[in-house]
Amino acid sequence: MIEPVTPAAGIGKADSREWGFQKWDRDFRFLLECFESVLESSGEARLADALSRAFSGETVDEPLPPRGAQAFSIAFHMLGMAEENTSNQVRRLRETANGPAAEVGSWSYYFANLKRDGFTEADVRAALPRVGVQPVLTAHPTEAKRATVLEHHRELYLMLVERENPHWTPMEQDALRARIEAGVERLWRTGEIFLERPDVESEIQNTLHYLRNVFPDATQLVATRFRQAWERTFPGTTPPDAPRLTFGSWVGGDRDGHPFVSTEVTRHALMRLRAAALALQRRQLETLAAHLSLSEQLQSPPKELTARIREYQELLGDAARDAVARNPAEPWRQFLNLMLGRLPGDGAGAPHEYRRAEELDADLLLLARSLEAIGAGRLVRGDVAEARLLVRTHGFHSASLDIRQNSASHDRAVAQLLGIAGLGGSDFAEWPERRRCELLDRELESPRPFAVVTAALPADADAAVGVFRLVREYIERHGAAGIGTVIVSMTRGVSDLLNVYLLAREAGLVGRADEGIVCDVAVTPLFETIDDLERSADVLAGFLAHPMTRRTLEHLRKRDGRARPLQEVMVGYSDSNKDGGMIASLWALRNAQTRMARVARDAGVELRFFHGRGGTIGRGAGPTHVFLRSLPPATLEGEMRVTEQGEVISQKYANRVTAAEHLERLLAGVTRWTVAHEREPLAPHPAEYAIERVAVESRRAYRELIETEGFVEFFSQATPIDAIESSRIGSRPPRRSGKRTIADLRAIPWVFSWSQARFNLPGWYGVGSGFERVRAADPAAWDQVRRAAGEWDFLSYLLHNVETSLTSAHPALMEEYASLVENSALRERIMAAIRDEYSCTSRVIEELFGGSVTERRPRLMKAIEVRRAALVRLHREQIRLLRDWRASGSADEKLTPLLVTVNAIAGALKTTG
């Protein structure tokens, strides 16, 4: 039996990494032992031996036994569980040994940072009401594991955490091991891949799991740690409310290139989200009623409470009798019973029901005042504060649902409406921007729609107007909190955004208000490609200057109770990287944010950036606290939204403690840098000119590769892109329009396929050439960059991400995947370019950092080494299966074992796209 690792008393920070490595190894060996026992008892001794040898570092070049890829997949997920649990335990260890302020990214760490930098308690307190963070769970289909398998993983992880109890007896340890082995056997006997492509409903259900079962507890933990950190950092002061943390979703609302997201699907998503929120609020009120069993014989209830009880008895009528009679002489419980009676049901909405979550929060605030009045402040800070936090976080909607659509789809819808109105316009999409805007300016002077409500509309117009009619109905019935923004993908000009107002007008979402003609929904441009990012400031300036936008922003400011008008802008990391490579992408994103911040400031508008980051470095991933630190000065004004995509959701949020850590880093980091950005001018860094030149040269090198003759053929054969396009990992098609081009391929399968073949090309290609070309042309600029690498947060973040991509790549495996390319001359020509750039980029990164990655990043190297031999065997199995599948003409019976290797490698690398 492998026993849990218990740290020695008083272990210091210097020893925590080594202790963590030992614990990680031992926890994983324990789980692997359990798995091998299950396999041996199931008659799979060969597989058990293959696992043991592979994870002992032995490389075996022979085909895996049947179901070998699934066994390796399970083992890799176990390794991830051990890593996650170890990370949480090491964090606890460091906090105990060194104090909470020593943990980078925590509330205590950032509060201490602010004090060190000269900010006072009053400075921080004043900033907190402006801070709001919203992780958005997207509909991007990158989760390669079935929902059932995810649930088995969660159960197994919780049992692993149970082993941390140092007081288990030997018999209790044996019983726990038996439960773990049973959990492992369930995994082994459950298929890991989707046999059919999942529908949107299954994706909605997966999202709801986190909103119902993980986020409520994790949010409470984040708020508790906020209060504790405040009291430690600013002793003697009353902690304010924690900054706002809410959640968003694209699942069921993201229509961009997704033929299965109809108006009815969006309606279903909204109703499921609402039902989940109401169930959560009901459960919390029931818990609160069970706790607040205070008797009026021991304390007199305040008059405000008894008056509200009488008011609700009259409002609820007969339904109030049982609510009051159930708990005689317990007025606090009676009040909560009446509040439960006011929660909305599934019907049309009775007069006594709460219309908005703010009404429920007002009653909870009254409840808190009544408890404070009798001296029961602890109950307020505990029970009632928890209930209020859930109301503020989830409301009656769980998460706000964005509506996203591509600008080209809106163009087609507008063209059809112009045709109905007899205005021509069938070629509206080809009109020059000036002509488009002139028509839209005229039309938006009136709330009159083109078509009567009962008119049948052509397909594109019907789809666009239909979803806006649904939004109008939802807002009228339930309020605006459940509706996010309308996001316009591929925004190229102001007319792309004004189109939304015109389509919303057809649905009755545009009307007259005090400000004039306004729209009831906010419009968010999404700038994705490098060219679009370079135009973004001009587009934003034109949009903010438009009378319809100015009136709408003021209307929404009043409706939502904001101090200033708010405009959201989404920036995309995926397509910009696919378009120009790593440095060009991040540089374009940085410049765009800086320029747009100036535009918004000049317009007197608060700007909220929505960062569309994916799960891999090629799509914007990286440590949250470092990402926030690297943002351009004065671009963070308190509010931020950020996507959480695919497998990243389960990695970050599958378990309460891990979820709370990620949410704390996000919310605390935004708070810290919001306060700091208030004093930071929009001033350039001295090395910016040099990096701009590097970005230009890097993009040129990257484009030279992907535009070279035969590159599409090389990519199609040297990576498993064809298998990925045949997989069942999500409901969204992998291509925007079905064309067999790189441009039409979505960024997710682009990055996924390169990572499967261990090139990781989007994360590093062109970087070395960019730096070397600048060094050759201007040695002084190179010296400036070298000095900046250690002290400029943006450059350090960029270089660390490139280094991670390089280190995770595997040159020998690249060659083995390239052997799948049938044209040997093409293969050698492109591989020569890739080899040269890999070597060049590796040299440049090591020179800029002044040392090898092995010395500087032992944890990264540990994570790679522990997976190395087993991954090599899996990759070779995938190459063999790819060759056989392609030779068979892509036979269906050969696809499933191939997709198991895709799933297993994704689990091992902890990424799909």
- List the structure tokens of 133: 């963070």
- Among candidate residues 23, 209, 578, 685, the one labeled active-site is 578
| E strand or H helix at 570 | strand 566-572
Q: How far apart are CA 582 and CA 587, in angstroms?
A: 9
Count other C-beta atoms under 10 Å from residue 78's C-beta: 25
Q: Where are the beta strands (DSSP E) in 85-164?
A: 132-137
Helix (H) or strand (E) holding 611: strand 606-612
Crossing angle between the packed helical segments 793-808 and 582-603, to the nearest 10 degrees: 150
Query: Nearest-5° angle of CA 283, CA 285, CA 290?
Result: 95
d(CA 747, CA 618) in angstroms, rounded, equals: 9
DSSP secondary structure letters along 807-840? HH--HHHHHHHHTT-S-HHHHHHHHHHHHHHHHH
**Distance between start and end Cα atoms, the chain:** 38
As given in the structure block, the two tokens for residue 318 are 């007969």
Per the annotation, the verdict on 578 as an active-site residue is yes
Nearest-angstrom CA–CA distance, 874 and 28: 19
List the structure tokens of 249: 């979703």
Please give the Cα distance from 157 to 149 (Å, whole number): 12
* Catalytic site residue from 23, 77, 140, 145: 140
For residue 213, count other CB atoms closer than 10 A to its CB.
13
- Let me know: does 891 contact 867? Beta carbons within 8 Å: no
Distance (Å, whole) CA 360 – CA 64: 59
- If DSSP states are collapsed to H, E and C, what string results for 520-554? CCCEEEEECCHHHHHHHHHHHHHHHHCHHHHHHHH
CB 343 within 8 A of CB 278: yes
Which residues lie closer than 8 Å to 890 by C-beta, 6 or more apart?
A: 722, 726
Which residue in this structure is represented by tokens 């991830």? 80
Distance (Å, whole) CA 391 – CA 223 = 14
Q: Give the tokens for residue 282.
A: 């009901």
Kindly report the number of other CB atoms within 10 A of residue 619's CB atom. 32
Is 140 among the catalytic positions?
A: yes
Could you count the other beta carbons within 10 Å of the beta carbon of residue 822?
A: 10
DSSP three-state, residue 362: helix
Annotate 747-790 with DSSP letters as a single string.
HHHHHHHHHHTT--GGGTTTHHHHHHHHHHH-HHHHHHHHHHTT
For residues 727 and 898, give the distance between their C-alpha atoms in angstroms, rounded to a whole number.
Answer: 10
CA atoms within 13 A on the CB side of 595: 16
Q: Enumerate residues 6+ apart whose C-beta is below 8 A from 41.
A: none
Q: Which residues are catalytic?
A: 140, 578
